[in-house]
Amino acid sequence: MTDTEEKGERIAKRLSRAGICSRREAERWIADGRVRVDGRKIDTPATLVTDASRIMVDGKPVAAPDRTRLWRYYKPPGQVCSTSDPEGRPTVFDNLPSDMPRVMSVGRLDINSEGLLLLTNDGELARRLELPSTGWTRRYRVRVFGNPDDQALAALANGVTVEGVRYGAIQARLDSARGDNSWLSVALQEGKNREIRRVMEHFGYRVNRLIRIGYGPFQLGKLVRGEVDEVSAKVVAEQTGGAATPRLRPKKPDRKPYKRPGQNKNADRRRNP
């Protein structure tokens, strides 16, 4: 056991690994005085905790993190990737199977996009897989209005600046064209918000369908819209550097484990059976 393991891990990281919030949210909760460790209100996300620590959020105990799990989901168009939406639009999490634990998405797809979305119960894993430094390529099938030529597509490999935002290299290939529409294969590593749509529109090609078919080693495969499929623990461990190692859980607390406030009963039931 390393010195770090003996001392424990930061509370913000533990809350994120438990799947109840992101690390950034945990920091806000701590600043708001909502988190206690061993009966003491804490004021810094650097506080170290161990498996023996009693962690409470809003007076409710936080269960120890379960083993890391990962799912592939075919996100249909028309769903947002937020846990709730102020405009009342359907979310990805409203339609998941009732036997799934609470999960979060690895990155996002905008409401009009569809295809592969990775879901996990481990906030730290989600955070790590979102970073461009993983080197994982995101692959898409993109339909645009117009007929891009090879020269225009090749220029994307050098990156482009759109309205002051610098986008990295994009690999794009014309697959087919019919009438006023063309299908492209697109690959990139960074994946900024609405990147493909903005870059294509910058060159005069409006995107009218966008399907993500791959995220690193994980593929959309034969999933159909709305279908979810769990990745085996062995594959998760192989592809994420052993992040799926099972974690021992202490005895369950007497009180119901903490769940994010503001969820309705149906949403709670779907994400926290």
Query: How confident is the model over 102-121, as a mean pLDDT?
Result: 94
**pTM (2 d.p.):** 0.75
Selected catalytic residue, list 110, 175, 180, 229:
110
Q: List beta partners, residue 210.
A: 142
Q: Which numeric CATH code is attached to 3-65+247-261?
A: 3.10.290.10
Sign of CA dihedral 199, 202, 204, 207: positive
Burial of 272: CB neighbours in 10 Å, binned 0-12, 13-18, 19+: middle
Structure tokens at 5: 């393991």
Q: The CATH number of 66-131+226-244 is which of 3.40.50.300, 3.20.20.140, 3.30.70.580, 1.10.4030.10? A: 3.30.70.580
Going by pLDDT thresholds of 50, 70 and 90, the confidence category of residue 267 is: very low
Comparing 87 with 247, which gets the higher pLDDT? 87
Looking at domain 137-215, its CATH superfamily turns out to be Alpha-L RNA-binding motif (3.30.70.1560)
> Catalytic annotation on 110?
yes
Per-residue pLDDT averaged across 137-146, rounded?
96
Contacts with 131 (C-beta within 8 Å, 6 or more apart), sequence order: none
Given a cut of 60, is residue 83 above it in pLDDT? yes
Q: How confident is the model at residue 242 (pLDDT cuts 50, 70, 90)?
A: low
Same fold flag, 66-131+226-244 and 137-215: yes
For range 34-59, the mean pLDDT: 92
Residue 241 has pLDDT above 90, yes or no: no
Of 175, 177, 171, the residue nearest 146 (C-alpha): 177
Q: Report the greatest alpha carbon distance in the chain.
A: 68
